[in-house]
Chain A
Amino acid sequence: MAVTVLIPTPLRPYVEGRGALQLEATSVGELLERLTAEHGGLRPHLFADDGRLRSFVNVYVNDRDIRQLSQKETLVQPGDTVSIIPSIAGGTAVEAELPKLSHEEILRYSRHLILPDVGTEGQRRLKAARVLLVGAGGLGSPAALYLAAAGVGTLGLVDFDVVDKTNLQRQILHGTSKIGTSKLESAKERIHDINPNVRIETFETRLTSENALDIIPEFDVVADGTDNFPTRYLVNDACVLLGKPNVYGSIYRFEGQASVFYAKEGPCYRCLYAEPPPPGLVPSCAEGGVLGVLPGIIGSIQALEALKLILGRGDSLIGRLLLFDALKLQFRELKLAKDPDCPVCGTHPTVTQLIDYEAFCGIGAEPAYAGPEIVAHDLNLEWERNSELVVVDVREPHEYEIAHIDGAKLIPLGELPSRLNELDGHAEIVTHCHHGLRSMKALEILKAAGFAKVRSLKGGIDAWSVEVDPEVPRY
């Protein structure tokens, strides 16, 4: 008994009109070789010039696609049925309409054009490409600069912030003269100076579940440069639902990560992190700090991966998580597998539309630390009248070194539970931190330990510097 091969209608003219053939073979590869040896006319329709099976040709052994088995090495036995099943694909002539390069562009991109893997066609692909950058901050800065310089035709930028002095240590899109202006305006000016050929589409808004499905479909590749979990999950889910590749990067202190999440070809962010961490557990860069060069490295890797996806060259970071440690100067790599139970890209997804990502990440749902507060101006007056008042600084020692309030007692939040004995239970106590969040957590600890007269300095040392003592530097 031989293997039965079912031939679809379009190929029957090459096998004397028959719908089924019997052949002897032990593997799919061997079977297809025999088939095309006996019926030469089939070969160009089944195999590309490089000998690989054409992308629109699907081979099933009994009821399973050989892509899910061992490809051409899939074994067959007498009695098996091998079916050749067409995918039907096509579309309008975008390839033929790749934009031409002007003389100015040919000169500008000459170092690309002489690269065999880019060449004129690759550069025209870049010109036709549309990349969306979510965030024009630390990661978005180098990504935007390099993508623009490389000749990506259209860059979309989503951001709603204004340039702040504390951004300039790492957000190299923006300069000192742009403090106080919108990041998008600042970015536009800088990008146009680098490459006036780039079209910039700006979205001066926060990316939300309401607008993401309007903005993202218009782009080919998304680069996620956000610094918060709700937006990161939103970008991921929207990209999975829309079938777009998501070039991911994140940074914290001295460490960074990068990957390409493309659910069609590999895992998504949720396959890696199904659930967000509890709110407050992972500090942001604003809370924990970040080395200025770090986003330059990770953001540049994102730009590189976006270019490779557009050019269709090289091995992308799909299915790999790159970990970078700046202090050790070490790159490590983790293999990522697609999770078949992933709630958004798995075989039975439960997330089929965008959700409320703030709630998903526990933001707003968590009972906020609430306690009595005192504003800086009042604290100053009260402290002058009552020298018994104790001000407790719950920040870290290195922050104390940057700026502190004279007379405040430093007890970092983490040490507070074990150092309660250093505080007088009857005294008026005011806790303070950088902006007033950690000092609220300190209030909880103190109240739970029986301290009655406790308040938190509203706005932290930052407010103190602005309202009371400008000699205390802001950071």
Chain B
Amino acid sequence: MTLVLEPRHLDALRRHGEVDYPREACGLIGGAAADGRKVAFTIVPARNARADAPRHRYLIDPDAFRRAQDTLDRDGLEVIGVYHSHPDHPPVPSAFDRENAWPWLSYVIVEVRGGRAGEHKSWVLADDRRAFAEETIWQSQS
């Protein structure tokens, strides 16, 4: 699949990573899936519930997920992906990311080095949970 994002979505999630640096920022991506593409319509920032280790862990708790899902549902949208920042680490999923990952969702990771957003990449978990595969991000202009 391909993830389709508008520049404003990318800006929003990259800026979220910069604002929360050196803590990990996280949130959900709402949109619709069709014809082998997941198209983003909105970015839903979330609170990082891992107050104990916010510099290298993030958590969107189930209540926050449910609320976001219900809100998106009213607009006919669904959760198509997740984003989070890697403070001072490359935008590559860690073993911990993989252990906790859900299939099908796009996992967009933004590297934030010294407070500045750097590279970003999107990943999808393999069916057998053994690996993440990089997914193409297609930037739409609308």
Give the interface of A toward B (CB within 8 A): 8-14, 41, 44-45, 55-56, 58, 60, 65, 83, 85-96, 241-244, 264
Contacts and interface: CB of A to CB of B under 8 A. Distances in A.
B62 to A, nearest CB: 4
A243 B52 contact: yes
Nearest to A42: B103
Interface stretch (B2-10, B13-21, B81-89, B114-122): B81-89
Given A12-B104, A45-B103, 11 more contacts: A9-B33, A9-B80, A11-B103, A83-B66, A85-B65, A87-B59, A90-B96, A90-B97, A91-B58, A91-B96, A92-B24
Interface string B102-132: 1111010000000000000000000111000
B103 A10 contact: yes
Contacts of A12: 104
A92 B89 contact: yes
Given A56-B100, A87-B61, A94 B51 contact: no
Closest 7 CB pairs of A and B: A243-B52, A93-B94, A90-B97, A10-B102, A91-B57, A88-B60, A58-B62
A242 B59 contact: no
Given A11-B102, A88-B82, A89-B58, A244 B95 contact: no
B89 to A, nearest CB: 4
Contacts of B60: 87-89
Contacts of B53: 91
B90 to A, nearest CB: 9
B79 A9 contact: yes
Contacts, number: 113
Nearest to B104: A10
B52 A88 contact: no
B17 to A, nearest CB: 12
Contact of A9 (B78, B87, B88): B78
Interface string B37-61: 0000000001000111100111111
Nearest to B82: A88
A264 B97 CA distance: 22
| Contact-residue size bin, chain B (C-beta under 8 Å from the other chain) | 35 or more
B110 to A, nearest CB: 12
Contacts of B28: 88
Contact of B62 (A10, A14, A85, A244): A85
Given A8-B69, A91-B58, A86 B95 contact: no
Contacts of A58: 62
**Chain A interface mostly helix, strand, loop or mixed?**
mixed
A89 B59 contact: yes
Nearest to B85: A92
B137 interface: no
A8 B96 contact: no
A41 B57 CA distance: 28
Contacts of A242: 51-52
A461 B45 CA distance: 66
B97 A91 contact: yes
A92 B87 contact: yes
A61 to B, nearest CB: 13
Contacts of A44: 128-129
Contacts of B50: 89, 91, 243
A11 B101 CA distance: 12
Contacts of B88: 92
25 contacts: A10-B79, A10-B102, A10-B103, A10-B104, A41-B127, A56-B102, A83-B66, A85-B62, A87-B59, A87-B61, A87-B62, A87-B65, A88-B59, A88-B100, A89-B57, A89-B59, A90-B96, A90-B97, A90-B107, A91-B94, A91-B97, A92-B88, A93-B94, A95-B96, A243-B51
Contacts of B86: 92
Contacts of A41: 127
Contacts of A10: 79, 102-105
B139 to A, nearest CB: 22
Contacts of A9: 33, 78-80, 104-105
Contacts of B101: 90
A241 B79 CA distance: 31
Contacts of B78: 9
Nearest to A244: B52
Nearest to A44: B129
